[in-house]
Structure 1
Amino acid sequence: MARGDLTDQEWALIGLLLPPEHGRWARPAGENRRFLNGMLYVLRVGCPWRDMHERYGKWNSVYVRFRRWVEQGGDALLQTLVDLGLTDNWQHMVDSIVSPCPFTGYGRKRGAHSEAFGRSRGGFTSKIHARCDTQGRPLGFVLTGGQVSDYKATDALMKLSVPTPKAMLADRSYDSDSFRLDLLLRGILPVIPSRKGRSTPQNTDWRRYKDRNRIERMFNKLKQMRRIATRYDKTVLSFISFLNLAAARLWIKPLVNATQRSRN
């Protein structure tokens, strides 16, 4: 087993959750572990598919399996792990980070906006909007251009198929009357500091707000995977599928630990 590959305990948990293989040219499902480890290698190292290590087999076979899973539903694995993980609904958090895009030529092609490319102070970038639970475990993502304001992605984040929390933690960039009202109508307490210069500052539970660093730590873990730290994928579907795969990787270890504790 190479560094970064799934352990036997992790594979026992995740192996049955992968999409089944059908069709005349489908390879045996028993090879899913090798293929998935190849995808995790590309995710962690950030290399082109052609430079994937040979121990995972032919790069094209792994790429084709990746694309097939993406087309069958790239977020299905993460959603299943979230459902199995008994998400902590005491409080959720939303935040965003910017992922630079080295291929500036995308900006001169049609459809750049639909593929979540945009220009910001950091150059040609994409913005990753995320929602996580109180343990800092990712629940879902939304992609936009890097120049898009944070609160414009809140509608999509709130529509994620997850239970309703008691409170929502966010920084000042999410301080808008419409977002606060939407949270209150859902029965969620907004824990959001007021923007500087706000005419009517809102009260903030600062003791609770201290927990918001957990989503920052989640982003730090995600950005250790080089395919996330820098966006190399042209299509939004491929990039968000890598995001979901990275998020699933963060879910697997705590679920394995919880399973082992329940058996002891």
Structure 2
Amino acid sequence: MTGPRRRGRKCINERRRIEAILWILRTGAPWRDLPSLFGPWQSAYACSRRWSKCGLWSAVLEALNRSLRDDEYLMIDRSSARVHQHAAGPAGGQIAQAMGRSKASLSTKIHMACDALGYPLGFILTGANVSDFDQCKPLIRQHLAAQSHAIMDKGYDSNAIRECVNQHGGVAVIALHPGRSQKPDFDQHLYRERHRIENLFQRLKHFRRIATRYEKLHATFAAMISLACILIWIKL
């Protein structure tokens, strides 16, 4: 088989493998349980690993961000994904693969930034026992546009984070912690927009591969989250 027929056959195979990866993402099923209509599970798994290693999904997500994002607000929040027992023994140890033990269980924390309409811009993965403060600043530096409002909950209320927002030309809209002695200005009306990032996490966790972490490696779990973010952008 040569020429157009060969290229057509290759496109069909690649589309089938993409559909197989999406099926795994939505259901959270083991790769070995992939239905036969998608072809051999080994082929789909190898294709998924290859695309994860080359950074395909993160590159697509970045391209969508550049062309479609709404920079009126930047919202930052975090959520945790419980690590399944099959993923709890990764190569290199749990800390190296962004796993940590909280009071409840072994989990991975997803630190997410989204735009004014609630679409994902970027994320950082850490263990559940890692402080939110250290991950907030890189997200601000990478995604905050000048004159934008940075909206966060009281878990991020610190002078250092407010100063970081100011240094990057933004306006901090952060809920005040009850223990704060000095009360800076706080726009409660604008803060109501923060529900959009909470809705984003709910949409992400419709994908069972995100709601529970089945991936042993940081890179493969990050690739699954990037793919889910792409589907949210294109509204699939």
Asked if these proteins are the same fold (TM beyond 0.5), I'd say: yes
CA shift at 1:164, angstroms?
A: 4.5
Q: What is the root-mean-square deviation of aligned Cα atoms in Å?
A: 2.0
Query: Are the counterparts in 2 of residues 173 and 195 from structure 1 also a CA contact under 8 Å?
Result: yes
Q: Distance in 2 between matches of 1:68 and 1:162?
A: 31
Residue from 200, 215, 233 that aligns with 2:215? 233
Match of 2:59 in 1: 76
Query: Are the counterparts in 1 of residues 87 and 216 from structure 2 also a CA contact under 8 Å?
Result: no
Q: Show CA shifts across 1:59-83 (max 9, x none).
A: 1111111111111114111112222
Query: Are the counterparts in 2 of residues 107 and 124 from structure 1 also a CA contact under 8 Å?
Result: no
Distance 1:31 1:80, change over 3 A: farther
Equivalent residues in 2 for 1:107-122 (5 A)? 110-122=92-104
Match of 1:153 in 2: 135
Query: Are the counterparts in 1 of residues 74 and 143 from structure 2 also a CA contact under 8 Å?
Result: no
Match of 2:5 in 1: none
User: Are 2:154 and 1:135 equivalent residues in the alignment?
Assistant: no
Q: Distance in 1 between matches of 2:146 and 2:48?
A: 32
Residue from 131, 149, 153 that aligns with 1:171? 153
Q: How many residues align?
A: 227
SS in 1 for 2:234: helix
CA shift at 1:114, angstroms?
A: 1.4
CA shift at 1:54, angstroms?
A: 1.8
CA shift at 1:150, angstroms?
A: 1.5
Query: Are the counterparts in 1 of residues 148 and 169 from structure 2 also a CA contact under 8 Å?
Result: yes
Tell me which amino acid in the other structure corresponds to 2:218. Answer: V
Tell me which amino acid in the other structure corresponds to 2:103. Answer: R
- Structure 2 unmatched ranges of 5 or more: 1-8
Q: Distance in 2 between matches of 1:38 and 1:145?
A: 29
Q: Distance in 2 between matches of 1:94 and 1:187?
A: 16
Q: Distance in 2 between matches of 1:163 and 1:181?
A: 15
CA shift at 1:165, angstroms?
A: 5.7
CA shift at 1:107, angstroms?
A: 6.6
Q: Distance in 2 between matches of 1:132 and 1:164?
A: 15
Tell me which amino acid in the other structure corresponds to 1:142. Answer: I
Tell me which amino acid in the other structure corresponds to 2:187. Answer: D
CA shift at 1:109, angstroms?
A: 7.3
CA shift at 1:35, angstroms?
A: 1.3
CA shift at 1:223, angstroms?
A: 0.5
Tell me which amino acid in the other structure corresponds to 1:97. Answer: S
Q: Distance in 1 between matches of 2:17 and 2:87?
A: 31
Query: Are the counterparts in 1 of residues 90 and 97 from structure 2 also a CA contact under 8 Å?
Result: no
Give the TM-score taking structure 2 as reference length.
0.90
Percent identity over paired residues: 36
User: Are 2:218 and 1:247 equivalent residues in the alignment?
Assistant: no
User: More displaced, 59-68 or 204-213?
Assistant: 59-68
Tell me which amino acid in the other structure corresponds to 1:92. Answer: L
Tell me which amino acid in the other structure corresponds to 2:167. Answer: L
Match of 2:186 in 1: 204
Residue from 186, 190, 213 that aligns with 2:172? 190
- Structure 1 unmatched ranges of 5 or more: 1-26, 255-264
Residue from 26, 43, 64 that aligns with 2:25? 43
Q: Distance in 1 between matches of 2:93 and 2:78?
A: 23
Query: Are the counterparts in 2 of residues 92 and 165 from structure 1 also a CA contact under 8 Å?
Result: no
Match of 1:99 in 2: 81
CA shift at 1:249, angstroms?
A: 0.3
Q: Show CA shifts across 1:209-238 (max 9, x none).
A: 000000000000000110000001111100
Distance 1:33 1:161, change over 3 A: farther
Q: Show CA shifts across 1:118-176 (max 9, x none).
A: 01122111100100001110011100111122222112212436744611100001111
User: Are 2:98 and 1:125 equivalent residues in the alignment?
Assistant: no
Distance 1:203 1:161, change over 3 A: closer
Distance 1:138 1:177, change over 3 A: same
